[in-house]
Chains A and B, each alone.
Chain A
């Protein structure tokens, strides 16, 4: 019998061949969106609002239009149809129509013969505003239901309220030996991709529109472009160029993309826009600022009896992914440690700041910070080792959580053991000299959202293979390369099944005309979903070829092995009867006709059936654990991370170097969030971003980045391609709580707020309670709670009742 290509030993899986785009990226050959230009191309600039909240009374474009070199000037009235990433939040306009909602909201657009003319003309547009009261924080939004930023949402300036209870948290608290209550705050931060967004649009001679853009989600841009421009999808083609970093910041359809689409249609000339760094800060869609309250009941051994989590999100000016983000602040608390009873209350508000959305970890790093720091406090109070306590309470593999998330493989225990051993945790915690400390934290993340943004029965990812007579294979998929290596994973999955070298493959990706839909590079879904689709397509091709070869050679199909670019009869150890893949392809084409196959993937259904059950389910969950060692100065409050030990349960590492690269990159970004990255605005200065520049928005340079020791835990998940789970987002999550916990070990102070900046450390040192952090959580009236019996209570996954909570959320 020939070996099963999906089981080890593998030919390419687990190794680190050069990426399929590796040489292009080191030679400058990769074409990012701004690298494209066309003859007669116009340049576009946006006129953005300089006020945070106002009614647009008039727009005077006459001076701009009169400028030599200006070809077109448009305003919001040319595109009255709203759009947005989520069907429930179609609240954006390509250019503002009635209101501007943050400093940077685009109001008008210019297309001119060169960028300088467009820039000067955009400045000459005069907008008359009637100021409205601006709202700069979630608390202010709760206190000021008027004026409303949007005419939709749950009430006033509250976009969304969610209240869910799984089991009976009060009963759980009654069973606890101790109940802990803590509040935390996580300041917003942004993706800061090195590439500034850029888009080129072209109306072809037949009147069809092609748009090349730095987008992570060509499929959703396709929907939005088609909707706003009122063009059938078949007349709109979106090509996602390789993204110069995404991290979630290029996951929404953006104003500027639709604007250049419109301008190309109007002017019948190619139109390009390349955003400045300042404008990238206005696009934002980054981490929501979240105020959190955790109430957790525990037994003396640290096992959790009950948990109630409340979150208050500052959403910024638009919906974006916000409804999903809000659910995500409550969804994944249950997947790491056993939580028998769980309650979640989440509130998202609109404020007059750039919109928040999905950044690496999407809605889960904030509560993960709160949860992991609270567990550290609990361990401290109970006199337990935080690592041992976590190991005793792990959510088991192949289980269903209280909120009906189905866990498959679960390697967190092994992750904890790896980092505890490698870091010398037991010899260091509480034993290092003052000013030096270690902290531990864990996390988990989804390997793709179980449900699509538009609920439908269609596959989440599709792959087509074309097999050439010369033995070349072309792989078509809508996936988008954002630096994570998805093009290579796509090629690698096919290469493994067909026994080919990556060089024998060409991948054609991210083009809505040429490639089958893949929903995009978000939610850590690509390896799981595209990978499974690619394996299916490749297996079908293998079967077609094997049948034809078998018919010709009389070797049974089960004895044919595809490896090293050849097809072998496994019963012939000499290999003499083998033929090249190209020869086999010719035999197969002669038998079947033109050779091509398809594969697709739809995640398995989730057991949750309650309202809100759509966020959280995933085909598989990755797990991470980390120990960080810090040096923290009592004099300056400066925290330096000296070393990081991180272990990640990847299921199976398809490409080892890329997997480690994602872990290290996640650690890097998480340390930036932990120590310095924050989006802050001058509330007293009209909500202007304090520092929309790379110099002042601090991120780690080569000088701050510590050594990282990475361990991959490979506990294959039955749902993943070759057992693989996600790695793009999960390893970021433990960094923020691990740093905060290490600062406690070093100095005995708690900074319950991210980032852990020097002034906060100093304030904590000066505080009576040796803590810096939010004082409390506001009382917010909540809608009736959705009550769901847990699996342990014999629940079905459906809600049992709605119960009105007079007086709102318990505080």
Chain B
């Protein structure tokens, strides 16, 4: 369903290209989506598919916030047309968790406070996932290099690097220490509560 709703009496602007229907493979599932051919992958994910986990910071390819994984590569969804994605495997932040639980990157970002405001986080998670899928044991310099296209204004990046290293260790099956500051909470961080805003 389009979040735009219907035109009020008047037909929508003229000279609009005819919409196309495409089957996009997103987070392991095929979705038949109807959209105008000039729409970016970012717009189609957020506005046509309701996958608002992918954020935008500039819509000009400058900040990395809208990063998703396409065929294993981190891609800026604001610069990519959705029509380019026919037959390609797209992973967004919503697709990182499985029935078994969150992705180790998600756990590590939460445990180390690598997400402060959380707005750049989906982009960092996707860029990091692409990195770890390609290289299970990246050095700090490789992480720094791979994430150089993603801006974060809150953290100063250090906790993000540490979280990627921690997740990499978990994915390699290595034991990790409890998150700093939680040694006496018995190893695992207690689960989170919930936040509610106005309905």
Contacts and interface: CB of A to CB of B under 8 A. Distances in A.
Interface in A700-719: 701-703, 705, 707-708
B193 A277 contact: no
B174 interface: no
Interface string B180-194: 111011000111111
A245 B144 contact: no
Contacts of B12: 68-69, 113-114, 117
B127 to A, nearest CB: 10
Interface in A65-110: 67-71
B93 A28 contact: yes
Nearest to B61: A695
A210 B60 contact: no
B81 interface: no
B151 interface: yes
B176 interface: no
A69 B13 contact: yes
A503 interface: yes
Given A25-B121, A661-B116, A705 B158 contact: yes
Contact of B117 (A69, A239, A482, A667): A482
B121 A26 contact: yes
Contacts of A35: 46, 52
Interface in A356-412: none
A657 B53 contact: no
Nearest to A476: B196
Contacts of A15: 181-182, 184-185
Contact of B151 (A247, A482, A694): A694
Interface string B79-109: 0000000000000111011000010011101
Interface stretch (B1-9, B69-77, B131-139): B1-9
A16 B113 contact: yes
A657 B180 contact: yes
A491 interface: yes
Contact of B5 (A20, A113, A191): A113
A240 B195 CA distance: 13
Among B118, B180, B192, the one with the most A-chain Cβ atoms within 10 Å of its Cβ is B118
A23 B156 contact: no
Among A69, A241, A508, the one with the most B-chain Cβ atoms within 10 Å of its Cβ is A69
A20 B189 CA distance: 12
A656 B159 CA distance: 13
Interface string A173-200: 0000000000000000001111110000
A675 interface: no
Contacts of B189: 16-18
Given A245-B117, A484-B116, A664-B156, A506 B55 contact: no
Interface in A445-495: 481-485, 487, 491
Interface of A: 14-32, 34-35, 37-43, 67-71, 113-114, 116-117, 120, 191-196, 210, 212, 237, 239-247, 269, 276-277, 481-485, 487, 491, 501-511, 513-514, 655-658, 660-661, 664-665, 667-669, 693-695, 699, 701-703, 705, 707-708
Closest 9 CB pairs of A and B: A28-B53, A483-B117, A244-B119, A25-B118, A16-B181, A668-B156, A37-B3, A35-B52, A28-B93
8 contacts: A15-B184, A26-B93, A27-B53, A38-B3, A68-B13, A483-B154, A657-B181, A694-B151
Given A19-B192, A69-B11, 18 more contacts: A17-B192, A20-B192, A23-B102, A28-B52, A68-B7, A70-B10, A113-B6, A194-B57, A195-B119, A239-B197, A239-B198, A245-B117, A245-B154, A483-B117, A507-B194, A657-B113, A664-B159, A668-B157
